[in-house]
Amino acid sequence: MVPVHMRRSLPVLLLCLSSCATTPGNVSLRSDGTPGPEECPQKALEAMRILGLSVGDAAEVELDVNQTDASPITLYDGPVESMLNSPLGPFPSVSRLYGRVWTGGPQAVIRYYEVQPPEREPIPICAVARLGLGQLRKKPESKPGTAILEFSSAALYIVNSFR
């Protein structure tokens, strides 16, 4: 349930930010192919503050909506559409997440730049997919530009910058 004060803020926030599409910037790659540091855009920091999302807030996410509940899954370098499996602050499960996947290193790196609640405009955020114990680690049979992962879901964490 979304608190009353947030229900009033969400339409105003959506109106203010709907024209501000957030896309990944030019991210330098490390020698192992993983993305380097990236600042969280000011609009995303502002949106997360207004919505009451804090660094470390977490939810469960289905990594690729086209491979829900599959095992294993294959992720490709580039854009990804994911879906919340559990609520995140004011966002209900089934909200869509838009981000980017990098597969160059020993594990997949997934950064999210937008969340889109049902029947609403996308809102800028900064979040990452994580799993403990190396569970985003690529399977040995992964070809260049892909990451074959054992699990289709992971934890999503709000961040204030990408490291």
CATH no. for 4-162 = 2.40.128
pLDDT digits (tens, 9 = 90+) for 113-132: 999 999 999 999 999 999 87
Structure confidence at residue 19 (pLDDT)? 38
- Where exactly are the structural domains of the chain? 4-162
Tokens of 119: 């029947």
Using alpha carbons, list the distances in angstroms from residue 21 to 8, 25, 98, 137: 22, 12, 11, 30
Question: Among residues of the chain, what percentage have pLDDT more than 90?
Answer: 77
Residues in the chain: 163
4-17 and 42-51 are packed helices; what angle lies between their axes, rounded to 10 degrees? 160
Give the pLDDT band (50/70/90) at residue 80: very high
Structure confidence at residue 7 (pLDDT)? 53
CA dihedral 114, 75, 128, 24 (to 10 degrees): -50
pLDDT digits (tens, 9 = 90+) for 37-65: 999 999 999 999 999 999 999 999 999 99
- Three-state DSSP class for 158? strand
Structure confidence at residue 69 (pLDDT)? 85
User: What's the whole-number mean pLDDT along residues 105-114?
Assistant: 95
